[in-house]
Amino acid sequence: MDRIDIALIGAGRMGQIHGGNAARHPRLRLKYIVDPRPAASAFAAQYDARLVTLEQALADPAVGGVLVCSTTDLHLEHALAAVGAGKAVFCEKPIDLDLDKVRAAQPRFDGARFLLGFNRRFDPQFIRLKQQLDAGTVGQLESLHLVNHDPAAPPPGFVPTSGGLFKDFTIHDLDMARWLMGEEPVQVFATASCLVDPDIGREGDVDTARCVLKTASGRLCVISNTRRSGYGYDQRIEALGALGMICAGNVACDTVHTLTENGTVGAPIMPAFAQRYRDAYRDQIGHFADVVHGRSEPLIGYADGVAALVLAEACGWSARHQQVFNLPNENPHA
């Protein structure tokens, strides 16, 4: 099958992950990079891509898809421009930090080939767990436990532009909860503290949280978040049903264990998201290739991004007011 040209907007950390996966994919070709920063030149040279303006990239009829990996405050603007130019769009999460803007723009994405970057839905471990749940292996799902712990606090300067713990970090778990439970939460309760880094608190954010979601049928989901585990990138799921439990555990750096009379020693778990979700990022872009070639509809769309942002806003409201937030409600950010 012929390769279709792709443009990458933003060659930062996530842009290099997604752009590299696109460049290595047999049905995609990374043709353009839109990023004025000097560091983008070396990345472009690595894949024989050209540095151009956004207008130049979108004006090329050979470009079939656009990877939006710019800063969060520009995701929506760049996605709108690419969709308006008739391109298939992959967009890093979140769509935007402003729920009103996201809702207002939603009609412009009707019918668009738009894939949102909730990469965990493409993780092989989590896909297998989801398949067993859907097959009824443990009967009807009753409760869910999601653990998402970063290895260490983010660098200084990250928090003010990130959108905060719930929109930047917990939003992945909120999307996973919707996907795995198969129902929309109708109640949210969150409580949070700043226990890891005082600078995060001084920026008005939190770094440790617990969230409880409840669906109309009574299914419960508990989400555990922290910006610092101290032992690696902790990513676990427990799904409890009427007949038992399905678990997806952490992935270790290797499977070698040493057993002596003093005990058992094994490799640590993956140190960070890039290593833990390497396969998910690759398969996500593989799915985007199918979307670009017209072989598949996007598995995660704009509406999923809106729903996750609504829940993130609800978590923030609940943590501030220490009250249960009932959905649906038009103003969780009020």
pLDDT of residue 334: 52
- Inter-residue contact 149 to 224 (CB < 8 Å): yes
- Inter-residue contact 65 to 79 (CB < 8 Å): no
Preceding peptide of 94 cis, ω within 30°: yes
- Inter-residue contact 235 to 172 (CB < 8 Å): no
Rounded to whole angstroms, the Cα distance separating 275 from 57 reads: 30
Q: What is the DSSP string of 100-119?
A: HHHHHHGGGGTT--EEEE-G
Which residue shows structure tokens 């799915």?
287
User: In 138-227, which residue ranges form alpha helices assigned H by DSSP?
Assistant: 159-162, 164-165, 171-181, 198-202
Q: What is the mean pLDDT of each run of 10 residues along the chain (334 residues)?
A: 94 97 98 95 97 98 98 97 98 97 98 98 98 98 98 90 96 98 97 96 96 97 98 98 98 96 96 98 98 98 98 98 88 57
Rounded to whole angstroms, the Cα distance separating 182 from 136 reads: 13
DSSP 155: P
pLDDT of residue 14: 97
Rounded to whole angstroms, the Cα distance separating 96 from 186 reads: 23
| Overall pTM > 0.75 | yes
- Inter-residue contact 145 to 238 (CB < 8 Å): yes
Rounded to whole angstroms, the Cα distance separating 285 from 291 reads: 9
> In three state form, how does the secondary structure of 213-236 look?
EEECCCCEEEEEEECCCCCCCEEE
- Inter-residue contact 58 to 81 (CB < 8 Å): yes
N-terminal to C-terminal alpha carbon distance within the chain: 50
pLDDT of residue 33: 98
User: In 111-162, which residue ranges form alpha helices assigned H by DSSP?
Assistant: 124-134, 159-162
pLDDT of residue 331: 59
